[in-house]
Chains A and B, each alone.
Chain A
Amino acid sequence: RKEVEQDPGPFNVPEGATVAFNCTYSNSASQSFFWYRQDCRKEPKLLMSVYSSGNEDGRFTAQLNRASQYISLLIRDSKLSDSATYLCVVRNYGGSQGNLIFGKGTKLSVKP
């Protein structure tokens, strides 16, 4: 089983739609969780960290379910500019210093 798994998509949604991505991780000792965004042929950039209690940043909501070992990202009122690949990222406690484990990404395409 891959350490971090995501549905690769693509998710094709109309503007204004709500879309949700899930990500599962295999290591129950994982400590930190993030969503990164990567535009085509660009570098990844942090979208948001994921906290145990769940957190929201504008139209984006991230949730963590430790018992089931999954992380979700909800995007409300999708914009054309949300089109990108969303990377689920996990850091394991006691792992190599700074070693983040990246999922392969879920591609989102928002259409007019």
Chain B
Amino acid sequence: NAGVTQTPKFQVLKTGQSMTLQCAQDMNHNSMYWYRQDPGMGLRLIYYSASEGTTDKGEVPNGYNVSRLNKREFSLRLESAAPSQTSVYFCASSSQTSGANEQYFGPGTRLTVT
């Protein structure tokens, strides 16, 4: 049981390049989330998916798109990377759509945009 996995672990992009961050969970959770964590800012929600087939914007969605590919997988895409998107990205999942249950986090992706 791997929990929440994310790929890649590290990535360096040039401004304007695109990439997709992958996330998968094997806990049969309904809800999945993408956060970014910046020094001095704490964790901020980018997008979430309450259940398969639905996605909604969080606090900081601009510059990102997401796809809930199936119940297991939730990907985050940067179409045209900017230096302001340099951050650590965490994917998380939880069992209930209300999110009241514990959120389990993946190990994170450290992204640098130059």
Which residues of A approach B to under 8 Å, CB–CB?
31-32, 34, 42-46, 49, 87, 91, 96-100, 102-105
Q: Does B74 contact A (CB under 8 A)?
A: no
Kindly state the interface size class of chain B when it binds its partner.
Answer: 20 to 34
Main secondary structure of the interface of A (DSSP, over half): strand
Q: Nearest CB to that of B30 among chain A residues? A: A98
Given the known interface contacts A97-B31, A98-B33, the answer about A105 and B42 at a Cβ–Cβ threshold of 8 Å is yes
Given A31, A98, A102, A104, which contacts B31 in the complex, CB threshold below 8 Å?
Answer: A98
A100–B31 alpha-carbon span in the complex (Å):
13
Residues 77-101 of chain B, each 1 if its beta carbon lies under 8 Å from chain A, else 0: 0000000000000100010011110
Which chain B residues lie closer than 8 Å to A44 at the CB level? 43, 90, 105
Which chain B residues lie closer than 8 Å to A103 at the CB level? 42
Q: B33 → chain A, closest Cβ, in Å?
A: 6
* Sample of 14 further A-B pairs with CB below 8 A, known A97-B99, A99-B45: A44-B43, A44-B90, A44-B105, A87-B42, A96-B56, A97-B31, A97-B50, A97-B97, A98-B33, A98-B48, A98-B50, A98-B98, A103-B42, A105-B42
Given the known interface contacts A97-B56, A99-B48, the answer about A104 and B90 at a Cβ–Cβ threshold of 8 Å is no
Q: Does B40 contact A (CB under 8 A)?
A: yes
